């Protein structure tokens, strides 16, 4: 993450109350919403991966961790195209990160980290806007860019195991 200080964990209590209600309404739509295509993404040439060639719906099996944060709307706007409307209240939107380890997917096994800039309107609902997507699979990266319009990049993931005392 280039600038982890862009996330604002502390806000006035009135905003927290508002967002707790907003979160309940948006999270289910956010998790189920169809991804938006980023207008500036260019498709790469190449054949679709074996698991992707039959088209959606694609099935991904694994485990994931969501960490939601309030993000200053001014910071989130830097990552959201101007033609999209940011969902905000009291100068904040809902952003955060999504970390997943897929054991079964059209691209095989891979890990993914998504930095979520904020929530945008995608009538008739809203959805999360990815500011950055890191995956440890070239095939998953290619699919994310070409088919879904995600700002995907290949990265190395490592795991540290610690003994519990």
pLDDT reading at 70 higher than 70: yes
| C-alpha to C-alpha distance for 97 and 4, rounded to whole angstroms | 11
Contact between residue 86 and residue 7 where contact means Cβ atoms under 8 Å apart: no
Count of Cβ atoms closer than 10 Å to residue 71 Cβ: 26
Tokens matching residue 16: 């927290």
Tokens matching residue 129: 């806007």
Give the predicted TM-score (pTM) of the model. 0.66
- 63 within domain boundaries: yes
- 165 within domain boundaries: no
- 35 within domain boundaries: yes
Tokens matching residue 153: 């990049």
| C-alpha to C-alpha distance for 4 and 119, rounded to whole angstroms | 18
Q: How many domains is the chain built from?
A: 1
- 15 within domain boundaries: yes
Stated as kind and residue range, the H or E segment containing 98 is strand 92-104
- 58 within domain boundaries: yes
Q: What is the per-residue pLDDT across 2-13, written as a single tens digit (0 to 9) for each?
A: 433 333 444 444
- 56 within domain boundaries: yes
The closest alpha carbon to 92, from 114, 111, 70, 113, belongs to: 70
Contact between residue 8 and residue 72 where contact means Cβ atoms under 8 Å apart: yes
Q: What is the per-residue pLDDT across 112-124, written as a single tens digit (0 to 9) for each?
A: 999 999 999 888 8
Phi, psi of 24 (to 5 degrees): -60, -40
pLDDT reading at 107 higher than 80: yes
Q: What is the per-residue pLDDT across 16-69, written as a single tens digit (0 to 9) for each?
A: 545 555 554 444 343 433 344 333 333 344 555 556 766 778 889 999 999 999
- 111 within domain boundaries: yes
Task: Tell me the C-alpha to C-alpha distance, in Å, between residue 80 and each of 16, 26, 35, 40.
Answer: 23, 18, 13, 11
| Range(s) of the domain holding residue 96 | 8-154
- 46 within domain boundaries: yes
Phi, psi of 122 (to 5 degrees): -135, 75
Q: Chain-centre distance of CA 129, in angstroms?
A: 6
């Amino acid at each position: 993450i280039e600038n982890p200080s862009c996330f604002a964990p502390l806000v006035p209590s009135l905003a927290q109350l508002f967002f707790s209600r907003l979160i309940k309404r948006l999270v289910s739509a956010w998790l189920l919403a169809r991804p938006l295509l980023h207008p500036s993404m260019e498709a790469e040439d190449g054949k679709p991966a074996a698991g992707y060639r039959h088209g959606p719906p694609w099935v991904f099996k694994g485990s994931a961790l969501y960490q939601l944060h309030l993000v200053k709307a001014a910071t989130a706007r830097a990552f959201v195209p101007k033609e999209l409307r940011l969902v905000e209240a009291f100068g904040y939107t809902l952003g955060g990160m999504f970390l997943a380890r897929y054991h079964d997917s059209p691209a095989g096994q891979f890990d993914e980290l998504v930095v979520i800039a904020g929530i945008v309107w995608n009538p008739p609902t809203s959805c999360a806007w990815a500011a950055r997507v890191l995956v440890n699979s070239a095939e998953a990266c290619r699919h994310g860019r070409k088919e879904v319009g995600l700002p995907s990049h290949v990265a190395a993931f490592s795991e540290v195991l610690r003994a519990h005392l």
